[in-house]
Amino acid sequence: MNTIYIILNIVVLLVLIACLYFMQKKHISFSKRVFSALGLGILLGFLIHLIYGTDSEVTKRSIEWFNIVGSGYVSLLKMIVMPLVFISIVSAFTKLKMTNNLGKIGGLVIGILMLTTAISASIGIVTALGFQLEGIQLEQGEAEIARNTQLEQTVGDVEKTIPEQIISLFPQNPFMDLTGARPTSTIAVVIFAAFIGIAYLGIRRKEPEHADFFAKIIETIYTVVMRVVTLILRLTPYGVLALMTKVTATSDYSAIAKLGKFVVASYVALIAMFLVHLILLALAKQNPITYIRKTLPALTFAFTSRSSAGTLPLNIKTQHKELGVSEGIANFAGSFGLSIGQNGCAGVYPAMLAVMVAPTAGINPLNPTFIATLIVIVAISSFGVAGVGGGATFAALLVLSALNLPIAIVGLLISVEPLIDMGRTALNVSGSMTAGVLTGKITGELSEEVYNQPKQNMEV
């Protein structure tokens, strides 16, 4: 009998996919298709949850089939991330305008990402104190005990000194890093690509004919890679539909209710930091409302997929096509934003947990020295956080370990982790796009005309 219900659920999903495909054929805008998928996914997920329950065999088996669409789409995006990062950075060096400001651009992108992470940590601290969150209030069940056992085994692997963290950024085997084998692989690939680019600049001065040939090859490869990106992005509404269905169908709503105070506090902090992004844009004389309207599809996908890396192609395309950021800066901001200065995962979250658990270690969370130390450690530890689901856990372990605080609190939040991670990931992506816009504005490589023109229906 269960098989019939599973088949019925699959048929419903296929019907909804067909509706989205029909919208595409009718040339309905990309944004409308994405938001339609989001709404349909929420509706279908809640219906499955209400009819069958979270832990039923029908729900689990149905989601396994749905994952072919959802997880399959995220896998395709991850497939193109490293090639896109590598070829984008090398391509940036072959563009004269970009190379003239290269050092300034790299410094600005990293500086803005670090600054916003420090601000997000401060907001996380204030929110945790304002909501009077305490780690001792959290209950420990079987799942939490199992999670903490796993984390105790993991903490030894992620606990690094600051020099060790810096060393981990450098590429040792670029071919291994191109596979994304390490949390810091993205930064390592950027550094490797930068060396290729610097070598190109030297050849351009001494052997311009070879440099021109190399530049044409890179431009050709870049064009092909971006075409692959476009083909994958066309699947975005279907991926969002399946991913959102999974989230709403499998969430533990009773656990969310028990930890409701922490969930609300987390989203208050995340929203507050997003408002900071808008304020920074306003100070740079860029319309925040325009920014929201044009970035919503990318932020929506980041929210549903919980993957900053998976959102990278859409991130870069939105920066360049919608916000008027030059290709070079968009590639730098998007690529660096995967592993440096993730405002949500590496900023807000670790800071909140540290404040919550500090009293159990005999530390006054209101102590100015503790607060200042926490902000600095959060900013430094934000280097090398993987841009995929679970990156926040590693960031929290790094910060708590550096402050000699107990790590058990990380495992106690396992039941609401996916729900909060959705908001954190969206904030991460917004942070990298904000860094791109601000850097473009400062360096004069932001097209005001593109930024202010009506929203484009990106050909995806």
Sign for the pseudo-dihedral over CA of 29, 273, 283, 439:
negative
* Cα separation values, 142 from 68, 219, 411, 419, Å: 30, 54, 11, 20
Phi, psi of 325 (to 5 degrees): -75, 140
Tell me, what's the pLDDT at 448? 92
pLDDT digits (tens, 9 = 90+) for 115-129: 999 999 999 999 999
Residue 31 inside a domain? The answer is: yes
* Cα separation values, 439 from 43, 145, 188, 401, Å: 40, 45, 22, 33
- Rounded to an integer, what distance in angstroms lies between the CA atom of residue 345 and that of residue 437? 21
- Rounded to an integer, what distance in angstroms lies between the CA atom of residue 316 and that of residue 331? 6
Residue 459 inside a domain? The answer is: no
How large is the C-alpha radius of gyration of the chain? Answer: 22
CA angle 363, 366, 371 (to 5 degrees): 85
- Rounded to an integer, what distance in angstroms lies between the CA atom of residue 162 and that of residue 141? 34
Domain count, the chain: 1
Residue 398 inside a domain? The answer is: yes
At residue 346, does pLDDT exceed 50? Answer: yes
Residue 460 inside a domain? The answer is: no
Residue 56 inside a domain? The answer is: yes
- Rounded to an integer, what distance in angstroms lies between the CA atom of residue 112 and that of residue 154? 30
Residue 407: CATH number of its domain: 1.10.3860.10
CB atoms within 10 A of CB 376: 13
Residue 390 inside a domain? The answer is: yes
Could you list the residue range(s) of the whole structural domain that residue 228 is in? 2-452
- Rounded to an integer, what distance in angstroms lies between the CA atom of residue 437 and that of residue 280? 10
| Arithmetic mean of pLDDT, 33-45 | 91
pLDDT digits (tens, 9 = 90+) for 254-292: 767 777 888 899 999 999 999 999 999 999 999 999 999
pTM for this model (two decimals): 0.81
At residue 411, does pLDDT exceed 70? Answer: no
Percent pLDDT > 90 in the chain is: 36
At residue 97, does pLDDT exceed 60? Answer: no
CA angle 177, 182, 188 (to 5 degrees): 45
* Cα separation values, 397 from 125, 127, 156, 335, 351, Å: 17, 20, 10, 23, 11
| Arithmetic mean of pLDDT, 400-413 | 74
Contact 267, 131 (CB under 8 A): no
Percent pLDDT > 70 in the chain is: 87
Tell me, what's the pLDDT at 145? 45
| Arithmetic mean of pLDDT, 56-71 | 92
Residue 66 inside a domain? The answer is: yes
At residue 99, does pLDDT exceed 60? Answer: no
| Arithmetic mean of pLDDT, 386-391 | 54
| Mean pLDDT score of the chain | 84
- Going by pLDDT thresholds of 50, 70 and 90, the confidence category of residue 20 is very high
Contact 434, 277 (CB under 8 A): yes
Residue 458 inside a domain? The answer is: no
